[in-house]
Amino acid sequence: MPISFDSEKRIFKLDTATSSYIFEIYEENYLVHLYYGAKIPDSNLSAFRYTGGFASFSPQNINIADGMFSPDINPFEYPGNGAGDFRTSAVAIRNADGNNVTDMRYVSHKIYSGKPSIEGLPALYVENENEASTLEILTEDATTGIQTVLFYTVFENLGAMTRSVKVINNSDKTVEIEKVMSACVDFHTYDYDMLSLYGRWGKERSLERRPLAHGKQLVASKRGSSSHHQNPFAALVENGATEDYGSAYGFNLVYSSNFVFEAEVNQNSGTRVVMGINPENFGWQLKSGEAFNSPEVVMVYTPDGIGEMSRIFHRLYRKHLIRGKWKDIKRPLLINNWEATGMDFTGDQLVTFAERAKELGIDMLVMDDGWFGDRNSDRSGLGDWQVNEEKLGGSLAEFVNKINALGIKFGIWYEPEMISRDSNLYRAHPDWCLHVPNREKSIGRHQYVLDYSRQDVRDYIFGEMYKVLSSCKIDYLKWDFNRNLTEVGSAILPAEQQKEVFHRFVLGTYDVMDRLTKAFPDMLIENCSGGGGRFDPGTLYFSPQIWTSDNTDPIERLTIQFGTSMCYPASTMGAHVSACRRTGYDTKGNVALWGSFGYELDPNKFTEEDKRIVKRQVAEYHKYYDVIHFGDLYRLISPFENHFRAAWEFVSEDKSEALLTCVTMRRHPDRMLIIKLKGLDPDKYYVDEDTDEVYSGALLMNAGICLPNAEHDDGQSFIKYFKAVE
Ligand code: DGJ
């Protein structure tokens, strides 16, 4: 069993293939954290608990160790608030008597095979009970009677764990949850660098690395989405860790709204990490007998560097996060009209797109924004999900039949959480959007945000969507979200519950996404938020791919895709070839192949040469699909570190195939280019399909491939495919 409990020493040990996680039930039922790191066989770690020394200005629990045990300096599993530990808390509950002292101690536990789901929230899942084991620990604040259940699930073979928390109000009074982190990990030292992903619209998920320093360093969102600006991912890696070397701890929250990741280096130079719902603008009234579930944190540890950390996340998400029909089968290669036409299109025009798509081997046409209501610009129409038959030249079913008759599948765009100020829906229901009394509503892209905390609002939108989606054969839906939340209030909640609206909103979004996936199980859903503004595991639970960025420039995409790959697999990244200014179609295709591939342009404008390239890319898409979508990623040359080139490689699980891509961002002064491959079988021989030369895996990884005349110009690129020979 990967989870064990030594009842004599009262020590829990959670093992994965690569890690051990150890903590104990200490005196007075404190849960003291002892170790998280490379796998170890034993747990003789009591020296890591601090009972020996007196720490000035750190309060003691006089019942323990002659008054020498201070909650302020010990490492804890789930620290509370205001009861002797001054570091950042994991949980703070405002009691009925007005104070928010919270002190959870161990009560009982159970260990079992499998993994429970979390009501109303996305979470990793198992198909067979033997794929994971779970530890549940019940803790209680003896004064208030409030309890928490700490959930730890171990994916033994994948070097990963998940953690989440349920708060239960067993008292007879209403309390307010002010802060509930999904996990806390107390590291004993601070010799780590913190990795995080920052950005903005069109420039999502740039990688940033900083050494930890005393005090707090954090990434967070309070935008009502996981955001373009900071992703709910962070890692602590040992100082000096590289792609291939060193301890790496990755954290990723399965949540699509306000989050926080904090790393606080304390007076003893230990580091407390907490991650969960951002407590700023959060509060939850928990009535007697009610329970509240936190979202879950995914925690990955490897001793083998940042690259391996990413590969563990990728394997885990492909198997235990992505769901439904499109998890394992090939996704349709699509063409989307947005960059070509905006909202200014006709049905006949899109039929010509489908005709060209058919000639080129593309599988599906996606009709983007502008097909409904009075939606001819971004100033109007959101919420009026009735088909604009004038624009399409007939009913949606007639239009889709024309597309399908060409042998092309059809997909459609929606932005279900939004409402235009200029829309029939807003005129009929002005109180259906988020707002607070007597205060003007901020506008974003000329639109307001629907109050998805309300069941009636969600029912109406889902009903309208259902009518359209069931009226004909729709194979794909792009779910967009083009602004963040402001004046976050709901017309139907009492004053004391207004702090719940951010969380209730995202629960509402998940509810509608869930209903959609159940009503249309064969439909592929791609999420989007002005590009990649809601690229997180919560969203991926409902849609196996997400539009990575509105920026389709292949050189800009390099940093976006490298950053995104920190924890998200290639199969989740929507990546399209567009008509953007920089580079030729070759490089656009080579970069977009690293993802769920497609086109975003007017195919009527292709020259004969363009068509030749596109047909080749379509063939490459099919040939390399498995190695990219199911293989292991190796980041070889990072655009965050090298200003001349970027290179990456996919290797199939059985190491029989490898695909290398290299892009020159800026002409390099050296003519000779040597790239050392990674992840191959040293004992296998591989043929380079370009040259028919055969090399051992050992040679390719140690000597590398050598291109003596690689005077590649800005924006040029190449791919190389290696296949094992018998
Ligand atoms: C933002 C998306 O990222 C684009 O791809 C496009 O769908 C537009 N919204 C449509 O309004």
CATH code, 670 = 2.60.40.1180
CB 192 within 8 A of CB 114: no
Q: Are residues 61 and 176 in the same domain?
A: yes
Q: How confident is the model at residue 652 (pLDDT cuts 50, 70, 90)?
A: very high
Q: How far apart are CA 122 and CA 639, in angstroms?
A: 33
CB 129 within 8 A of CB 111: no
Greatest mean pLDDT among 64-68, 150-154, 713-717: 150-154
Q: How confident is the model at residue 1 (pLDDT cuts 50, 70, 90)?
A: confident
Q: Are residues 167 and 84 in the same domain?
A: yes
pLDDT at 67: 84
Q: How confident is the model at residue 670 (pLDDT cuts 50, 70, 90)?
A: confident
Q: Are residues 551 and 655 in the same domain?
A: no
Residue 328, domain member (yes or no): no
Residue 526 Cβ inside 6 Å of ligand 1? The answer reads no
Q: How far apart are CA 545 and CA 590, in angstroms?
A: 19
373 DSSP assignment: T
CB 120 within 8 A of CB 101: no
* Residue percentage of the chain with pLDDT more than 70: 100
Residue 231, domain member (yes or no): yes
Sign of CA dihedral 89, 95, 98, 103: negative
Query: Which of 593, 608, 630 is at the close of a domain?
Result: 630
Q: Are residues 496 and 517 in the same domain?
A: yes
Q: How many domains is the chain built from? A: 3
Q: Tokens in use for 368?
A: 């983007």
Distance from the CA of 605 to the center of ligand 1, in angstroms?
Answer: 21
pLDDT digit string, tens, across residues 534-557: 999 999 999 999 999 999 999 999
pLDDT at 564: 98
Q: Are residues 659 and 686 in the same domain?
A: yes
Residue nearest atom 6 in ligand 1 by C-alpha distance: 338
Q: Are strands 364-367 and 334-336 parallel, antiparallel or unpaired?
A: parallel
pTM of the model: 0.98
Triad 441, 446, 452: Cα angle to 5°: 60
Q: From the CB of residue 26, how many other CB atoms can be counted at a distance below 10 Å? A: 22
Query: Which of 630, 660, 675 is at the close of a domain?
Result: 630
Q: How far apart are CA 287 and CA 41, in angstroms?
A: 44
pLDDT at 54: 62
* Weakest mean pLDDT among 149-158, 284-293, 415-424, 701-710: 701-710
Residue nearest atom 2 in ligand 1 by C-alpha distance: 530
Q: Catalytic amino acids?
A: 480, 550
| Mean pLDDT, residues 520-530 | 98
pLDDT digit string, tens, across residues 332-369: 999 999 999 999 999 999 999 999 999 999 999 999 99
CATH code of residue 41: 2.70.98.60
Residue 482 Cβ inside 6 Å of ligand 1? The answer reads yes
Residue nearest atom 10 in ligand 1 by C-alpha distance: 369
Distance from the CA of 317 to the center of ligand 1, in angstroms?
Answer: 25
Q: Does 51 have pLDDT greater than 80?
A: no
Residue 325, domain member (yes or no): no
| Mean pLDDT, residues 132-150 | 98
| Mean pLDDT, residues 583-587 | 95
Which of 482, 548, 552 has most ligand 1 atoms within 8 Å of its beta carbon, as the pocket-test mutant? 482
Q: How confident is the model at residue 2 (pLDDT cuts 50, 70, 90)?
A: very high
Q: How confident is the model at residue 245 (pLDDT cuts 50, 70, 90)?
A: very high
Residue nearest atom 1 in ligand 1 by C-alpha distance: 530
Beta partners for residue 218, in sequence order: 262
Q: Does 181 have pLDDT greater than 90?
A: yes
Task: Identify which has the larger pLDDT, 580 or 604.
Answer: 604
pLDDT at 581: 85
Domain range for 688? 635-725
Q: Are residues 260 and 398 in the same domain?
A: no
Q: Are residues 646 and 689 in the same domain?
A: yes
Q: Are residues 145 and 267 in the same domain?
A: yes
Distance from the CA of 478 to the center of ligand 1, in angstroms?
Answer: 9
Q: How many residues does the chain have?
A: 726
Q: Which residue has the tokens 């009501």?
A: 119
Task: Identify which has the larger pLDDT, 283 or 711.
Answer: 283
Q: Does 303 have pLDDT greater than 80?
A: yes
Q: Does 52 have pLDDT greater than 90?
A: no
pLDDT digit string, tens, across residues 267-298: 999 999 999 999 999 999 999 999 999 999 99
pLDDT at 53: 61
Q: Are residues 653 and 578 in the same domain?
A: no
Q: Are residues 210 and 292 in the same domain?
A: yes
Q: Are residues 259 and 345 in the same domain?
A: no
Mean pLDDT for all residues in the chain: 97
Q: Does 687 have pLDDT greater than 80?
A: yes
Q: Are residues 544 and 669 in the same domain?
A: no
Residue 54, domain member (yes or no): yes
